[in-house]
Amino acid sequence: MTKTDLDAIRNEYPFTPKAIDMDGHLLGYLDEGPKDAPAILMLHGNPTWSFYYRKLILALRDRYRIIVPDHIGCGLSDKPQDYDYTLSNHIANLSRLVKSLGVTSVSLVVHDWGGAIGFGWAVENPEKVRSITIFNTAAFRSSKIPFRIWVCRAPLFGDVAVRGLNGFLGSAVKLAMATNKRDRFTHEVAAGYMAPYGSWEDRIAIHRFVQDIPLSAADVSYERLTRIEVGLAKFKEKTPCQIIWGMKDFCFTESYLERWLDFLPQAQVHKFQDAGHFVVEDAHERIIPLMESFLGSLSR
């Protein structure tokens, strides 16, 4: 992603990106707000990047230190072609970033793949988790995924559809927003989501994330996800938690929300009937006050 690309979306993404070396690959991230303020760690999913959280960052950065990494292969991070794009490696990168920034306590915010990655870090560092905000995601096992995602895992077809035709990103952006919210998807917003993924090489992580979905014990990341699922018990009852859910999600349906409440029964639940998978995009005006109230209650 070039400076020209960033300049083209400056009105939507007016931030100063930073980067850290991860064994020869640069991981891009945002670090916005006062460095001595309470920290919020926001983790995106696939096929988005830190751009997804831009409205929340702008609303909260005057009072909080907001850290938003782009996973390797995503957003402003490097996109190596020979990288091992697995859940364990994404978690390891996150751990190194948090440690390098000297952050000892965070309010964790997760969406999509950010759930498994974020909780993968959290179950190893429960003492650093001050609170949890969950947008449509999972960090536990499930064998159910939509057919349109499942077929993208197939050899050859998946390569052509995801990396060649940009079908996963293109369809996800259309399907992930609620139909009645698509007027928000202006040219500049579309450019923001698409900008980091302009070529076959740029879209490698989008495809690898799909291939790495742990559906059965035969999948590489299944064992790690199982350990994460078991570790969710560390946050049951005692950790302040809120779940903000887009009820029109084609992927993370209401059954996932109900499953979350098995693990985190103390969670405050906010259902948005008119929002989809990109719930923050669809409903950020209503989500921001919820975030302000929830985060403010931690101090009180």
pLDDT tens profile 205-251? 999 999 999 999 999 999 999 999 999 999 999 999 999 999 999 99
Q: In this predicted structure, what is the pLDDT of residue 180?
A: 65
Domain range for 114 is: 3-299
DSSP type of residue 71: P
User: For the whole prediction, is pTM greater than 0.85?
Assistant: yes
CATH of the domain at 14: 3.40.50.1820
> Which pLDDT value is given to residue 243?
98
% residues pLDDT > 70 (the chain): 97
Count of the separate structural domains present in the chain:
1
Burial degree of 292 (CB within 10 A; 0-12, 13-18, 19+): middle
Q: Does the pLDDT at position 175 exceed 80? A: no
How would you label 100-112 residue by residue, b for 16+ Cβ within 10 Å and e otherwise?
A: ebebeebbbbbbb
Residues 39, 65 contacting (CB under 8 angstroms): yes
DSSP 8-state secondary structure symbol assigned to residue 129: E
Distance from C-alpha of 217 to C-alpha of 198, rounded to nearest angstrom: 34
CA gyration radius for the chain?
18
User: Is the peptide bond between 47 and the residue preceding it cis, with omega within 30 degrees of 0?
Assistant: yes
- Helix/strand/coil for 279: helix
Per-residue pLDDT, 165: 86
